[in-house]
Amino acid sequence: LSTQLQADPWYDPRYSIPLFGMILGNTMTGVSLGLNTLSSQVSRERSSIEAQLALGEPFGRAIRPLLRRAARSGLIPTVNAMAAVGLVMLPGMMTGQILSGVDPVEAIKYQMLVMFLIGGGTGLGVIAAIQLGAYRLTDERHRLRLDRLAPAKE
């Protein structure tokens, strides 16, 4: 980050706020898609998960395919954006830099940096969120707790 931006200091708000905004915005999208997929899949596959648990499988192994689907679902928008950047679409940051007179090669370097940061942030966020979501859907006795998905009754 600091090698490409060459900001002194690296946390200068004029650089850090837009970068962290782009990273967090994309990460939140991935996390929400991953958790939505996880919760809907667990609700749909409840009988299968409970059958595996009754046969002695640990909760982590019983829910593993659903975690993979949730992670894949959460990463789809980021992977699609990374595949299309530069070929089909020109992102706003890169286009703005080119229009302002920055060398296109430098603008492409910035955009590559931002896309890698978004990909890494989204990947870490999605994996952490679905792991925590799966942890929340079980208890200390490895029972499926779908009651935790429902809103609290007042």
Any idea what DSSP says for residue 8?
Answer: S
Mean pLDDT value of segment 38-44 = 93
Residue 117 or 90, more confident? 117
| DSSP symbol at 15 | H
Q: What is the pLDDT of residue 2?
A: 45
31, 73 Cβ separation under 8 angstroms: no
Quickly state the pLDDT bin for 6 (edges 50, 70, 90). low
Report d(CA 140, CA 25) in Å as an integer. Answer: 34
- pLDDT tens digit string along 54-67? 998 888 899 999 99
Report percent pLDDT > 70 for the chain.
Answer: 90
Rounded to an integer, what distance in angstroms lies between the CA atom of residue 94 and that of residue 81?
Answer: 14
